[in-house]
Amino acid sequence: MAKKQDIDYLNNIIKNIPEKPGCYQYYDENNVIIYVGKAKNLKKRVSSYFTKSHDHSPKTRILVSKIRDIKYIIVDSEADTLLLENNLIKELQPRYNVLLKDDKTYASIVVRNEYFPRVEQTRNIVNNGSLYYGPYPSGNSIKTLLETVHKIYPIRTCSLNLTPEKIKEGKYNVCLEYHLKRCKGPCIGLQSHEDYIQNVEVVKEILKGNTTEVSEKIYNKMMEFAEVQNFEDAEKLKEKYLIIENFKNRSTVVSSIKYNIDIYSYEEDANSGYINYLSVHNGAIIQAYTFEYKKKLDETKEELLELGIFEMRKRFKSESREIVVPFYPQSLLDGITYTIPQRGDKKKLLLLSIKNVKQFKIDKLKKAESLNPEQRNTRILKDMQNDLHLKELPIHVECFDNSNIQGTNPVSSCVVFKMGKPSKKDYRHFNVKTVIGPDDFSTMREVIHRRYSRLLMEDAPLPQLIIIDGGKGQLRAASESLKELGLYGKIAIVGIAKRLEEIYYPEDSIPLYLDKNSETLKIIQHLRDEAHRFGITFHRKKRSIEQTKSELDNIKGIGEETKKALLKHFRSVKRVRSASVEELEQVVGKHKTRLIKEYFSINTDALAHKSDD
């Protein structure tokens, strides 16, 4: 039975698992792998083991009770999870997995080593000079791929021994494939060897996944035909182009590399180096492991990668003679080839390893921050300080926004964030006093001056950063107010323009563009949106009050409820003014009727005298 600390440990892992495709592995108390599974969404699948009762599945219930650790490998697609799961089960043979009885392998595509090479499916890999691609996760995927290849380029499907001598002797006749225009008849010399091999070379590039060059060449040729109005040939090339564009690259977790190699990738932060290790045997990933080195001194990434390679080769007894790395380690092992790939299968495997080591680093950070939320806030503020080039950590940030509609009821809002979180008790509204009409620059100048002159007078804490919702004009106006108060240079100030989320600095015309996914930009956007929401809410409230004001508000003794009753009954102030005493008394009584009649009598007389004058 799992102890409470074991359950807490597992829950913390599950909380941070990404919602990505991949394979997960369960380990028991002896750190022995007991189950391998696949999922198109790792988080949902792993979570389901621990949230369901499994009353109808005693074996699953027993499995869950024995889980003490969870590890996972992320991949690029759901199809990759099938292949990776198959490889891991075969290699590791976990206790609770159904083991494969026949040990069959997935099918591959072969380009035969023949004078007129055939391209077809096979499960039998022979070292005879033929080229193999795959394996592929299902027969359907191979069937679709071969149909695609044959649709684009006519490649023979017959098993005839097409040697130059036998073709010259005229031993063969064309078959139905020729009449269906799926073969150009190399068997009787209707297609030259050179033309056929050119088609095969393009097919090889497609099978490698190098479709970009192929599609570009087809597209350029198509446009050439179109320019000379050869629309028939252009249309044929268009069909090929569309087929290739829709073609999906084959899997990453297996490759055409038919020997053993090790893949390493590296990430680091201030305190640790992280290394991911992938073991590839005969083109299939059979082992994935990510680990961390705590930095003791000022170890370089080259030193740590060297240690990691030595440790993994010893731990997993690797005898691979080639190692793929993102950069060269400090020293190289004798008899081992080190490769930094630029393209192809090795590059794809390296990118997969990099993806996993980055995820490991993110997960470690999330686990630590879930146990200590302040650590996350501090990290985000440090990132913000670095991104915005601030002298101080922006613990206290204030953001300003102006609101007016068609120049009416101008107001401004100030929202306050402390430690990256809204501090709503410190939010402030400003009724603009010195500005008439829609003048954002003057409004910003007034509000900034009022806000910080008051803070100085009260000896209240000042922010480390001021954010202005607006471009260079509003930022310049705000900066002028800070200069008048002697705060310019003591408080950092930036503006954010809405169009492209540019960050502007005072006296600098070139904006800063932050990564759209950065925490810094997200906090600035949150501040800006919160200031806008807070300002609009106040503006609407003020405008609503202005719109409900009437002449009845000037009558002493007539309150809000009486005003509502009069307007509800008479529909307008004009009708209240012209109503008879009897009509008014029915609604508000004698005393208030007298007050209303006296008010309108006095003000009507005053208005009349003014007209006479």
What's the pLDDT tens digit per position in 393-418? Answer: 999 999 998 876 545 567 788 999 99
Both tokens of 410, joined, read: 């101008």
The pLDDT of residue 606: 44
Closest residue by Cα to residue 119 from 199, 179, 211, 239: 199
The pLDDT of residue 248: 44
Both tokens of 541, joined, read: 């409230």
Q: In 209-248, which ranges are continuous DSSP H helix?
A: 211-227, 231-245
The pLDDT of residue 611: 37
The pLDDT of residue 79: 65
Give dist(CA 331, CA 307) in Å, integer. 10
The pLDDT of residue 322: 92
Measured at the CA of 381, the angle between CA 380 and CA 384, to 5 degrees, comes to 90
Both tokens of 1, joined, read: 């039975």
pLDDT, tens only, 559-613: 878 878 888 888 777 888 888 888 888 888 888 888 888 888 776 544 444 333 3
User: How far, rounded to the nearest angstrom, does the alpha carbon of residue 547 sit from its chain's CA centroid?
Assistant: 46
CA dihedral (94, 97, 98, 103) positive or negative: negative
The pLDDT of residue 416: 93
Q: What residues of the chain score a pLDDT lower than 70? A: 1-2, 79, 82-83, 86, 98-106, 134-141, 144, 208-213, 244-258, 282-284, 296-298, 369-373, 404-409, 436-438, 538-551, 603-613
User: How far, rounded to the nearest angstrom, does the alpha carbon of residue 20 sit from its chain's CA centroid?
Assistant: 11
